[in-house]
Structure 1
């Protein structure tokens, strides 16, 4: 099938912009996370609302399969084509360590990796979409309430996941008596509970805080890190071995661990909750209480709820594990089962921190309340900054070195802890090279926690976290317009802050951001009104576009349903839901071309075509065959939509335009509408400048008027035959109803059965600001046809048209 652009090798320029290596056109990542259901196994199915006793949660932990996540290969054409029709050009492929190495240390699931490779080949076949691998995790593992690591890693650290719920070591949706009423976002509090804290402390700083934890002749830190890196090295190496053709084409590379966490590193007084612990929900033990509960001792624990001003203590709760421990014992035989060989100093059945003298597991006394605040050997005071610039960077260097041994040219994407200041490594070749990018995450906290688009009140989350305000109350933002501006400002500040630390030549990509769809207690699922979701998503997407920030949106989930959302901890972020899909099933075919043609519908359109004036050159990216329709556009009342440079001195021969414009009343073509099942379509489906000769100065899309405005400082490309590529989704724009005004150059609309786009040719210009505006002909709002201040006759007088 012909494409509107082919995935070609990308490079990074001196300003941190992605560009096609051969043409110099700037590429903007407008991507999607694909897909959130890959956190969960297919066999047996273990969606988080399922009771542990009914889904083999623990019993099948070693023998699960992730083959078929995110969907069977037979469904790939449909789902990949749907995201392409939305305008997305990049996939962040969500994978988990558990999916690769669930059976035990060093035992890889080749069937799963080969399934994933076949899916990557399908993406290559479909074309026009880049993809990179995301080693995903949330609060360490499914067995500690999130996703990511296999169960044996918890046993390796000496924990017993079967007892996490009773000891408050983790809070799992699986154990909820009323799973539909599971507390919103309570899963995220697991980052501050015992299981997750132990695992991240061991993973990143085990050699500092648990030096006696030796397993298979390695400290637990090196043991866990080596297995994690080796598992993803195995995957990437196998991809390159089995599908070498996608390297340098659709396959971009791999990100480091998703949302890493420092565990207890830098924690102050273990008697108290951290002042940085802004998320407090339900039972919230202090660290020493968590240690005691983990050893089976009862505790009176404070409980919290969340209000608009932050967490509020609403009572206490007596929690008694009745002697049950969160630590594995010799009687469980897990060491024998997985082949672990521990040092004699590591006693199973006892808290690992008690074994290092932090507290007395017999009396419950806290001995070293600042154990994690002060380096045990050097006496250095520790904090988040030192974690990111110390242990975290050492892990990144190890990960980077391993990946570079596999491939020197793929992109490696560094992800520091969420919302923390990235490491100070600008121009440091130990950690960076010319194929490095930086990943950031951003969610609007108010919308996330309350699952509501509040048009009246929000907060400057980043400003509060960075200590910008004397009192958080001053971080309040009032009014929808100001809220939208605040989101844009926060995103810009995050990107600027990151580039300052990591380097202005390192591209920033927001690999996660999004909005929940189950707003207002799922009202939209009853009345079909997705206006709040539309406006909320538009606020984020507009901010990203306005600042021209690379991103991969969270998320697409082919199994999303109204009752359980994304099937994971009641999250509901998917832009697609099978409960909103009303079409008949698609027919299966053996190849993509046949699938598209066989499922497309013939439509009759009335179209204007211009056949000789303002010749637009062949792009080298698409062939003018029956499957691609192309035509130059003119608008006789509003001047040429594709201005001829030979007459760009301020006048246009309108009579010539009229003479060369012909109307075809019965123009037949085929089109495959894949928007069914999408939610908040008006906001999600957007125009996208994909490849641009120059720098984008402004990019704005108004979802209400459909006005799209693009301002570019143009550069002369390496080849004068390759124009800019701008996706203009057919969902918003029918060729008979749009008006295109280009201040310079020629424009041509092209489309195939999936995608519609503009090719904008301004190849003979350089170092000049030019603009492109798209509006609907019958739109009541056609103000500011171009930012340069000229439209209509005024534009001609100024010489811009």
Structure 2
């Protein structure tokens, strides 16, 4: 590409505008520099991640923008003895004491290939799924071989400048209640029989229910309204309050469960504390409240809960678990409401108990309900809405969740004080409130967001979307409906803005990273999987990430799953979200794994192979900004990118220097922009910067920008743009 000088505006102060001389790098990079500025730019590895208020920072004080990926969906499942796919069933499924998660997310001999791919795709942080079951499938015994595997895996991340945080992942409590997370022994200490969940409707477990003779299939979130999940979460968070008489070996069930969970992840923290890539620990993925706070046990609120398939009411769930047959409603998808009652059917005609021998319903024991004339009767419909001893309304987050968060954060940070603690509500919900009494050190708000309407119906055409967030809060369906692709973008941008602001309002000026965002690939009757035409999923994901960029948000996509295939998706409950779908052996035949030893190695030609929706997922962004970001936006249609930031003024520089940041290092004034070759390889690029100089190095997929204090006055904004050259744009790299 030719590099041609342009007239320099008078607003840019230079000793001599004539000294603004271009140079052409022999490696096809382009540079345009101002006087007396060092043009040597290198992308060094980030030593640490810190934070200054709500911005993540590197050691130089530069603002970090995190683009992450969840690794991975299949990590919810063990590698042995059960084969680890929820559509597969054999008797080994019930062997929960000899479980191994070694090689989740992938074998070590494949790790370099995957990390090289993720790094070449621009990701700089991994949300690493580690279910409680993977650490402690037998109570009190930690899986040291799995932890050894994790240490080896995370050690490799450092070679690729990848960071990670540990996600104690769960969905609907456990694999044995239709999701993932907690080990099976937690049901045993609560008195529940995992073998009876199918007959009693206590859980819908894909492994045991996936057959042609079963009722219509349900989606896994419906387990949040089932007996097993609701009971376990209620006991975990509030057993001392709502089930004070329920103990195990004389110990409070709440204290037993909570201390076991905390001890397991504190042990993991102690084993990983010397590994630089680990920046912190999440508290718990999407913490559900169980029955806590329900105003009545007569029914579940269809606005805040997914009522689908077999849908017993809370009272019916109690009765079914106690061996009483019940006629329950069966719900199907509908419009404008998500579901409607289709018919009823008798469940548990064999009168099976969901409780282990010698145990009975914990809620019947505590006077919540009883059996009269062989029928279930509610005695205290609002039992979980108020403190039984105090008769005051309960608040799940304030009364139960945050006290646990405080204990967990203290335990993790007692191992390493610099660890971040990532806190989240359920997906799309408001953040918990942190008071002066709560733990504040290194806390991060890590919410999740999905277009729940599109995810549930598995449809997206860009013509109409709904603000589910507003509808759940009582909004009008007309004002919560958006039309056209621009309406989609406006809808998503607004929802994410609300969650971001709510986080600031409730948790203070703390960093935010959306721990999960993503789209299902099997939308529109699996059209893309059948035809390999991913145009609609690309538009869908582009709109989601546009909303993130418009709000300057950090995020981690859900997900990168090496087990994904078109037929069974992520191999977990029918989900198909992975941006990668390609079965790999120990090493791809066309990839020399030894050549992927570092991010500076030449890119293997097939790293994009297996990628899905990469048009939207791979986009320019500025992982390191020498100032405060004002705008970071990619236009997929035009393939144009704009970064605006305000360099730190002298007051801020002094503050950062006092806090120990190396702001006097010349690298502190270097901004780095990831420029994916996926979009820009072998095409001329028009790059413009309002101040300073740029250097584009395509083989490293990086655009460097440097400036000196003399070039930018306090309060000025630096604007950098890049876009493909057109017939109307001259072949220039311009420093205006």
What corresponds to 1:171 in structure 2? Answer: 204
1:720 and 2:666 correspond: yes
| Whole-angstrom distance in 2 between the partners of 1:289 and 1:182 | 18
| Whole-angstrom distance in 2 between the partners of 1:105 and 1:779 | 68
Structure 1 residue 47 displacement after superposition: 3.6
What corresponds to 1:39 in structure 2? Answer: 76
Structure 1 residue 146 displacement after superposition: 0.2
Structure 1 residue 389 displacement after superposition: 1.1
1:378 and 2:390 correspond: yes
Structure 1 residue 745 displacement after superposition: 1.1
Structure 1 residue 39 displacement after superposition: 0.3
| Whole-angstrom distance in 1 between the partners of 2:592 and 2:680 | 29
Superposition CA RMSD, Å: 2.5
User: Given the superposition, is the C-alpha separation of residues 276 and 373 from structure 1 closer, same or farther in structure 2, using an over 3 Å criterion?
Assistant: farther
| Whole-angstrom distance in 2 between the partners of 1:366 and 1:739 | 70
1:491 corresponds, among 486, 492, 496, to: 496
**1:217-255, CA deviations, whole angstroms, 9 ceiling, x for partnerless residues?**
321111000000111011111112xxx1x33xx221111
| Whole-angstrom distance in 1 between the partners of 2:455 and 2:687 | 38
What corresponds to 1:336 in structure 2? Answer: none
**1:597-626, CA deviations, whole angstroms, 9 ceiling, x for partnerless residues?**
9xxxxxxxxxxxxxxxxxxxxxxxx9xxxx
Structure 1 residue 571 displacement after superposition: 0.1
SS state of the match for residue 221, structure 2? helix
Structure 1 residue 83 displacement after superposition: 1.2
1:188 corresponds, among 221, 237, 250, to: 221
| Whole-angstrom distance in 1 between the partners of 2:228 and 2:83 | 20
What corresponds to 2:515 in structure 1? Answer: 511
1:546 and 2:494 correspond: no
Q: Highest relative contact order (Cα 8 Å, sep 6+), 1 or 2?
A: 2
Structure 1 residue 147 displacement after superposition: 0.2
**8 Å CA contact 1:209, 1:372 repeated in 2:** yes
Instruction: Please list, as runs of the form range in 1=range in 2, the aligned pairs for 1:124-203 lying within 5 A after superposition.
Output: 124-126=158-160, 128-178=161-211, 186-203=219-236
SS state of the match for residue 774, structure 1? strand
**8 Å CA contact 1:510, 1:551 repeated in 2:** yes
1:111 and 2:148 correspond: no
SS state of the match for residue 105, structure 1? coil
| Whole-angstrom distance in 2 between the partners of 1:437 and 1:735 | 40
**1:308-338, CA deviations, whole angstroms, 9 ceiling, x for partnerless residues?**
4222111211213412111111xxxxxxxxx
User: Given the superposition, is the C-alpha separation of residues 265 and 671 from structure 1 closer, same or farther in structure 2, using an over 3 Å criterion?
Assistant: closer
Structure 1 residue 478 displacement after superposition: 2.0
**8 Å CA contact 2:69, 2:557 repeated in 1:** yes
| Whole-angstrom distance in 1 between the partners of 2:682 and 2:215 | 48
What corresponds to 1:414 in structure 2? Answer: 423
What corresponds to 1:367 in structure 2? Answer: 379
User: Given the superposition, is the C-alpha separation of residues 3 and 413 from structure 1 closer, same or farther in structure 2, using an over 3 Å criterion?
Assistant: farther
| Whole-angstrom distance in 1 between the partners of 2:666 and 2:43 | 17
User: Given the superposition, is the C-alpha separation of residues 179 and 718 from structure 1 closer, same or farther in structure 2, using an over 3 Å criterion?
Assistant: farther
SS state of the match for residue 122, structure 1? helix
| Whole-angstrom distance in 1 between the partners of 2:240 and 2:724 | 63
Structure 1 residue 390 displacement after superposition: 1.2
What corresponds to 2:292 in structure 1? Answer: 265
| Whole-angstrom distance in 2 between the partners of 1:472 and 1:368 | 34
**8 Å CA contact 1:447, 1:454 repeated in 2:** no
SS state of the match for residue 615, structure 2? helix
Structure 1 residue 420 displacement after superposition: 3.0
What corresponds to 1:615 in structure 2? Answer: none
What corresponds to 1:74 in structure 2? Answer: 109
**8 Å CA contact 1:280, 1:306 repeated in 2:** no
SS state of the match for residue 573, structure 2? coil
SS state of the match for residue 688, structure 2? strand
User: Given the superposition, is the C-alpha separation of residues 191 and 670 from structure 1 closer, same or farther in structure 2, using an over 3 Å criterion?
Assistant: closer
**8 Å CA contact 2:564, 2:576 repeated in 1:** yes
1:571 and 2:575 correspond: yes
**8 Å CA contact 1:737, 1:777 repeated in 2:** yes
**8 Å CA contact 1:576, 1:678 repeated in 2:** yes
2:722 corresponds, among 774, 778, 785, to: 774
Structure 1 residue 472 displacement after superposition: 3.5
What corresponds to 2:701 in structure 1? Answer: 756
SS state of the match for residue 332, structure 2? strand
| Whole-angstrom distance in 1 between the partners of 2:591 and 2:247 | 55
Q: TM-score, normalised by structure 1?
A: 0.80
What corresponds to 2:36 in structure 1? Answer: none
User: Given the superposition, is the C-alpha separation of residues 588 and 162 from structure 1 closer, same or farther in structure 2, using an over 3 Å criterion?
Assistant: farther
| Whole-angstrom distance in 2 between the partners of 1:6 and 1:389 | 40
Structure 1 residue 526 displacement after superposition: 2.3
SS state of the match for residue 330, structure 2? strand
Q: Mean alpha-carbon deviation: is it higher for 2-11 or for 387-396?
A: 2-11
User: Given the superposition, is the C-alpha separation of residues 474 and 767 from structure 1 closer, same or farther in structure 2, using an over 3 Å criterion?
Assistant: closer
SS state of the match for residue 526, structure 1? helix
| Whole-angstrom distance in 2 between the partners of 1:87 and 1:181 | 44
1:17 and 2:55 correspond: yes
2:451 corresponds, among 415, 439, 444, to: 444
Structure 1 residue 587 displacement after superposition: 5.1
Q: TM-score, normalised by structure 2?
A: 0.87
| Whole-angstrom distance in 2 between the partners of 1:65 and 1:480 | 45
What corresponds to 2:485 in structure 1? Answer: 480
**8 Å CA contact 2:82, 2:93 repeated in 1:** no
1:305 and 2:357 correspond: no
Instruction: Please list, as runs of the form range in 1=range in 2, the aligned pairs for 1:327-342 lying within 5 A after superposition.
Output: 327-329=355-357
**8 Å CA contact 2:430, 2:502 repeated in 1:** yes
**8 Å CA contact 2:363, 2:369 repeated in 1:** yes
What corresponds to 1:57 in structure 2? Answer: 93
Instruction: Please list, as runs of the form range in 1=range in 2, the aligned pairs for 1:608-627 lying within 5 A after superposition.
Output: none
Mind listing any 5+ residue stretches in structure 2 that lack a counterpart? 1-40, 650-662
Instruction: Please list, as runs of the form range in 1=range in 2, the aligned pairs for 1:663-682 lying within 5 A after superposition.
Output: 672-682=605-615
**8 Å CA contact 1:701, 1:708 repeated in 2:** yes
**1:625-684, CA deviations, whole angstroms, 9 ceiling, x for partnerless residues?**
xx68xxxxxxxxxxxxxxxxxxxxxxxxxxxxxxxxxxxxxxxx7754411100011111
What corresponds to 1:353 in structure 2? Answer: 363
Structure 1 residue 269 displacement after superposition: 2.1
SS state of the match for residue 710, structure 1? strand
1:324 and 2:361 correspond: no
**8 Å CA contact 1:751, 1:757 repeated in 2:** yes
**8 Å CA contact 1:511, 1:553 repeated in 2:** yes
| Whole-angstrom distance in 2 between the partners of 1:380 and 1:217 | 28
| Whole-angstrom distance in 1 between the partners of 2:552 and 2:335 | 31
SS state of the match for residue 222, structure 2? helix
1:314 and 2:342 correspond: yes
SS state of the match for residue 78, structure 2? coil
**8 Å CA contact 1:173, 1:179 repeated in 2:** no
